[in-house]
Structure 1
Amino acid sequence: MNGNLTLDELYAAANEMCRKWWETEYTGTIRLTSVNWHRREACFAHSTNGFSVQEIRMSRKVNARFTREHVLGNLLHELVHWRLFTQGIPHTDADPEFVRECIRVGAPFSLSKKAQRAAELYGGVTQ
Structure 2
Amino acid sequence: MTNGNLTLDELYAAANEMCRKHWGVDYTGTIRLTNAKWKVRDAAFVATVDSDRLREIRMSRVVNAKLTRDEVLANLLHELVHWRLCTLGLPFDDGSPEFVRECLRVGAPFSGTRKAQIAAKLYGGVAK
Residue equivalent to 1:20 = 21
Amino acid paired to 1:35: A
Report the secondary structure of 2:44's partner residue.
strand
Residue equivalent to 1:51 = 52
After TM superposition, the score normalised by the length of structure 2 is 0.98
- Deviation string, structure 1 residues 4-42 (Cα, Å, up to 9, x no partner): 100000000000000000000000000000011011100
* 4+ long deviations beyond 6 Å: none
Report the secondary structure of 2:59's partner residue.
strand
1:83-102 aligned at under 5 Å gives the runs 83-102=84-103
CA distance in 2, matches of 1:10, 1:125: 28
1:46-85 aligned at under 5 Å gives the runs 46-85=47-86
CA distance in 2, matches of 1:20, 1:29: 19
- Deviation string, structure 1 residues 51-92 (Cα, Å, up to 9, x no partner): 000000000000011000000000000000000000000000
Report the secondary structure of 1:56's partner residue.
strand
1:125 and 2:126 are equivalent in the alignment: yes
Q: CA RMSD in A?
A: 0.5
Q: 5+ unaligned residues in a row in structure 1: which ranges?
A: none
Question: Once the 2 structures are TM-superposed, how far is the Cα of residue 47 of structure 1 from its aligned partner?
Answer: 1.1
Count of matched residue pairs: 127
- Deviation string, structure 1 residues 77-124 (Cα, Å, up to 9, x no partner): 000000000000000000000000000000000000000000000000
Question: Once the 2 structures are TM-superposed, how far is the Cα of residue 49 of structure 1 from its aligned partner?
Answer: 2.0
Amino acid paired to 1:70: E
Report the secondary structure of 2:39's partner residue.
coil
Report the secondary structure of 1:49's partner residue.
coil
Report the secondary structure of 2:58's partner residue.
strand
